[in-house]
Amino acid sequence: MKIAIGCDHTGIALKEALKTYLDSRIIPFEDFGTFTEESTDYPRIAEKVCKAILSGGFDRGILICGTGVGMSIAANKFNGIRAVVCSEPYSAIMARRHNNANVLCMGARVVAGGLATLICEGWLNAAFEGDRHQRRLDIITRIEQRNSLPGVSQLDESAAKEEPQNASKLTDEPKPNQDTQPLSPASGV
Ligand code: RB5
């Protein structure tokens, strides 16, 4: 099993603790950043990790932000990604057994290294049970297919090239772009 791991600026220390744990179990991984505590936009890291999984190079992903919530929301925008945010081992184990979750998200401001390691261990060790759970995941897949915009590839790089690369640039040089423009009057409030 090969793991793609990533975090935003809040998750550097927790990511390092989890990398040490993965090393101790001789589980191969690649770190997709971020690598410094400079403020970073978590969706960019989620996108890198999810693309790495969907391209077939990695089996599963681990994403860390302050709460794990933003990472899980971003990751679940990708068809075929089943991301869960967990702060205790039971949900992480069941997320494998029943939901075949392929991305584990955790909050660095929620769980400390010891608990996060147990959560990760439970998630890594548990196996998907298939059967009725596969039927339910198939329903989710069909929902994804029914609600995907035709002709829009999730692996299309062109839109991402138009975006600023990190949060500090957003602050220093505000530019109109897909991330900062309100999607509707309500979303700009
Ligand atoms: C960063 O302050 C924080 O918003 C981010 O790490 C994450 O928790 C978002 O969901």
Backbone phi, psi, residue 46, to 5°: -55, -40
For each of the domains in the chain, give its residue range(s) and CATH number, in order of start.
Answer: 3-146 (3.40.1400.10)
Helix, strand and coil in the chain, % to nearest 5: 45, 10, 40
Ligand 1 atom nearest to CA at 65: 6
Alpha helices in 56-112 (DSSP H): 69-75, 89-97
Is 7 noted as a catalytic residue in this protein? no
* pLDDT surpassing 60 at residue 184: no
66 lines ligand 1 (CB under 6 A): yes
Residue with tokens 């409030």: 189
Is 133 noted as a catalytic residue in this protein? no
pLDDT confidence tier of residue 169, bands split at 50, 70 and 90: low
pLDDT digits (tens, 9 = 90+) for 78-112: 999 999 999 999 999 999 999 999 999 999 999 99
Residue 27, C-beta contacts closer than 8 angstroms, at least 6 positions apart: 1, 2, 3, 124
Ligand 1 atom nearest to CA at 67: 8
> How far apart (Å, rounded) are the C-alpha atoms in residues 72 and 74?
5
Of 65, 86, 105, 120, which one is the catalytic site residue?
65
40 lines ligand 1 (CB under 6 A): no
